[in-house]
A and B are shown apart, each in its own frame.
Chain A
C-alpha cells in the first residue's frame, strides 16, 4: 500500500482528494442544511458543458469549466432570487442547458470521447499537475471564505434574523453558489461529474446525524470527507477500479455507520 505513495500520480490524486474532500464537505454543510443538494448535482452536470467547451476550444478543460460553472451557479441564484420559480426548477433548467451544450460540442469531434469519459466517472490517473493547480487555487479561495462561516451559518439558520442584523445575505448567497460551483468542478477529475454531488452531500449528511451543533457538524463533515477521499483513493488503486465510485462507496459506508450510531436512531 505504502509504495503507492511514491507514485507521482497517486501523490497528485491524494493531494487533490484531500483538498477536494475537505472543501466539498465544508461547503456541503451549508448546501445540505439549506436543502440545496440538487444544486450540487446540477452544477456537476453543468460542468460537463464547461469541460466540453474547454476540449472544443483546446484549453485545459478545468480552466474553462470553472468559470463556466460559476456563471451557471450565479444564473441559478439570480433566477431563484428574481422569480417565483423554486431553486430546483432553476437548477433543472440550467443543468439541462449545460448538458445539451456539452453533448453538442462533444459530438462535433469523436476524439473527445475518451477525455469526456474521464470527467464523467473520475480517474486518479487523470489528475495532472494543471488540475492540481486548479484545485489548489479553489482551495485557497475556500480557505479565504472561512471567516464568513458565522455569517453563512446565521443566514442558514434564519435568513430574516441575519438580514435584520444587516448581514449581506444576498451577496453571500451568490458567493456561496460561486464557491460551490468552483469546488464541484475542481472535484470532477477525482470523483467524476456523475458522482460529484454525493461528495458534497454524503459527509455533511453523516456529520449531521452525529453532531449536536452546526460547528461540530462542519468539523466532522470535513474529517469524514477527507477520510473518505483518502480511503477511497487507496482502495481504487488497490482494486484498480474507478476512483470516484470507490470514494462514494466508502462515504456511503460511513453514512450507514453514522445512521446506525446516530443518537436519534
Chain B
C-alpha cells in the first residue's frame, strides 16, 4: 500500500518585495514522519511554516496537505505551536482558556464542562496539571510551551507544526517534550514538522531532517541530511563537531 503524503510542496517560491524567502522548494513528507527543519537565521524556516499554515501565500508553486489543496484542509487537522516569545503577556487569560481555544477555534468566554475536562486532560498529557488556572502572564517560558503544546494536541491534529518548541525549556522539560511528541506520533500516526536550531535534537528525535537555506539543501534521514557538506552549504561552515549517536530504532518513517 502506498504511504500517504502528509506534505507536498511543488516549486514553491515566496518573495517579500524584491527579497526571496523561499526558492523552488520541492518537498514530499510521508504521513507519520517527524521532520526537523534546520537552517541559519533568515533561511526561510518560519516562512515555510507559515506557508503550511496558510498564513503566507506562495508567490509561485503548489502546496498540498494530505492530498488536498491547503484551503480544503480542515483547520482542526493542523496543530500549531508558535514561539512563546510571540505571546502578548498583557492579554488577560488563564492557561486553560488558551488550551480550549485550540478546541473551539474561538476565544472562549464561558468554558463548558466538556471543554474544561478535555483541556485538563491535554494539560496533564504535557505534565502541566497545575497550570490550568494560572494567568498566562505568570507562566515561565517552559510552562508556556507546555500550554501551547496542550492547545495544539487537544484537537488531535494529523499534522503538528512547531516553531522552536524547546525554547525556554530546561533539559528535563525538553526530554519530556520529545518523549511526548514521539508517543503522540506513535499513537496517532500524526506527522510532525519542527523548526529547531538544535542539531543534536534533530539527529536524535527526527526521522527526517530538512536542511534549508531558502532552497532545500538536504532532506532525508538525519545521517544523510546532516552531513558536513549539507551543513556547510546551508550555514557556510560546520558549527561544531556533530559526533551524534545513530539511533536506528527511530528511522521508521
The residues of A with any CB-CB pair to B shorter than 8 Å are 33, 149-151, 153-154, 156-158, 160-161, 163-167, 208, 211-217
Contacts and interface: CB of A to CB of B under 8 A. Distances in A.
Given A157-B88, A165-B75, A211-B92, 15 more contacts: A33-B90, A33-B91, A150-B106, A150-B108, A158-B86, A160-B86, A161-B82, A161-B101, A164-B55, A166-B54, A212-B92, A213-B92, A215-B108, A215-B110, A217-B92
Looking at A156, A161, A163, the one whose CB has the most chain B CB atoms below 10 A away is A161
A208 B55 contact: no
B183 interface: no
B18 to A, nearest CB: 14
B247 interface: no
B93 A213 contact: yes
Nearest to A207: B92
30 contacts: A33-B88, A33-B90, A33-B91, A150-B106, A150-B108, A151-B106, A153-B106, A153-B109, A154-B105, A156-B107, A157-B88, A157-B101, A158-B82, A158-B86, A158-B88, A160-B55, A161-B82, A161-B101, A163-B55, A164-B53, A164-B55, A164-B75, A165-B105, A208-B92, A213-B92, A213-B93, A213-B94, A214-B91, A215-B109, A217-B92
Interface of B: 50, 53-55, 75, 78, 80, 82, 86-88, 90-94, 97-98, 101, 104-110, 135
Interface of A is mostly: helix
Given A158-B87, A161-B101, A212-B94, A166 B75 contact: yes
A153 B98 CA distance: 11
A166 B110 CA distance: 22
The 3 closest A-B pairs by CB, nearest first: A150-B106, A153-B107, A154-B107
Nearest to B76: A165
B80 A156 contact: no
A216 B108 contact: no
Contacts of B78: 164
Contacts of B91: 33, 156-157, 214
Given A153-B107, A217-B92, A161 B80 contact: yes
Contacts of A160: 50, 53, 55, 82, 86
Contacts of B50: 160
Contacts of A161: 80, 82, 101
Contacts of A157: 88, 91, 93, 98, 101, 107
A163 B54 contact: yes
Nearest to B80: A164
Contacts of B135: 212
Given A160-B86, A213-B97, A167 B105 contact: yes
Looking at B75, B86, B109, the one whose CB has the most chain A CB atoms below 10 A away is B109
Given A157-B93, A158-B88, A150 B107 contact: yes
Contacts of A150: 104, 106-109
Contacts of A149: 107, 109
Looking at A150, A160, A165, A215, the one whose CB has the most chain B CB atoms below 10 A away is A165
A151 B92 CA distance: 16
B123 to A, nearest CB: 17
